[in-house]
């Protein structure tokens, strides 16, 4: 790919498999509230902020809860989620992700994270990647979540590159839309089939090495 100097990675579902922990935590909350929740609904939460995710989980029950109660429910989910995060170690970073990141670094690309998660820094630290990236833009620094491009534009500006000189790697539809809205080239990771909105779909992260 021409004129690409920087690569901005989504975190959950791209660098690590925390999606299952999000699922278990939302499921525990939904079960306590007596609200139906399954893997299909969980799929709609990928890339979406915690409070927007809560609205999707509550669905038609949303109006039963006040703003304060919703804050408490989101905090409750996050505590359950963090109890799962506590078990993450550098051994949970897959060989493939480790090899890909190091190869891209050797090739001289600037590397950044662009994630909606407010737990980004904790996850990176536990994976042993706390000091690895050239920039980290996360859910604690933005006001608009994906599909708004804010988090990717922030990552690019922290790196000092223009969107046309960077690519975004995403597993979520909201993330691909955010990348395109920010005028980045968007690479979708999808193990089965094509992501119609992305510029290129790859089956797994290591395929990046071949297409760059
Ligand atoms: C995204 C996840 O990376 O972060 C979403 O794909 C999640 O599922 C969002 O809701 C916010 O995460 P957190 O850690 O701030 O609750
Ligand atoms: Mg993701």
Q: What is the pLDDT of residues 138-174, one digit of tens each?
A: 999 999 999 999 999 999 999 999 999 999 999 999 9
**Is 10 a catalytic site residue?**
yes
User: How many A from CA of 35 to the centre of ligand 2?
Assistant: 24
Provide the CATH topology of domain 19-85: DNA polymerase; domain 1 (1.10.150)
First to last CA, the chain: 5
Low-confidence stretches of the chain (pLDDT < 70) are none
Report the pLDDT value the prediction gives residue 195, as an integer from 0 to 100: 76
Collapse the DSSP code of 111 into the 3-class scheme (helix H, G, I; strand E, B; otherwise coil) and give the result: strand
- Ligand 1 atom 12 nearest Cα: 117
Residue 192 pLDDT: 80
What residues does each domain of the chain span?
Answer: 6-16+92-211, 19-85
pTM here?
A: 0.96
How is domain 6-16+92-211 classified at the CATH fold level?
Rossmann fold (3.40.50)
Give the CA angle between residues 186, 187, 193 to the nearest 5°.
125
- For residue 199, give the H/E element and its range: none
Residues with CB under 5 A from ligand 2 (ion): 10, 12-13, 171-172
> Residue 103 phi/psi, 5° resolution?
-65, -45
pLDDT digits (tens, 9 = 90+) for 190-205: 878 777 788 999 999 9
Decide: 120 in ligand 1 pocket, CB within 6 A.
Answer: no
Tell the residue nearest (CA) to atom 2 of ligand 1.
47
Q: How far apart are CA 92 and CA 144, in angstroms?
A: 30
């Amino acid at each position: 790919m021409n004129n690409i100097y920087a690569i901005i990675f989504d975190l959950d579902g791209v660098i690590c498999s925390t999606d299952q922990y999000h699922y278990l935590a939302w499921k525990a909350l939904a079960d306590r509230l007596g609200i139906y929740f399954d893997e299909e609904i969980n799929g709609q939460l990928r890339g979406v902020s915690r409070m927007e995710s809560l609205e999707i989980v509550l669905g038609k029950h949303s109006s039963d809860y006040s703003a304060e109660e919703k804050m408490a429910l989101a905090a409750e989910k996050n505590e359950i989620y963090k109890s799962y995060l506590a078990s993450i170690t550098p051994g949970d970073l897959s060989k493939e992700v480790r090899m890909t990141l190091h190869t891209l670094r050797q090739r001289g690309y600037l590397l950044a994270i662009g994630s909606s998660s407010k737990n980004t820094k904790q996850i990176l630290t536990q994976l042993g990647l706390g000091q690895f990236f050239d920039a980290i833009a996360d859910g604690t620094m933005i006001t608009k979540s994906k599909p708004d491009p804010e988090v990717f534009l922030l990552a690019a500006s922290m790196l000092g590159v223009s969107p046309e000189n960077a690519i975004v790697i995403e597993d979520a539809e909201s993330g691909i839309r955010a990348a395109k809205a920010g005028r980045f080239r968007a690479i979708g990771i999808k193990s089965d089939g094509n992501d119609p909105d992305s510029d290129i779909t790859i089956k797994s992260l290591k395929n990046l090495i071949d297409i760059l």
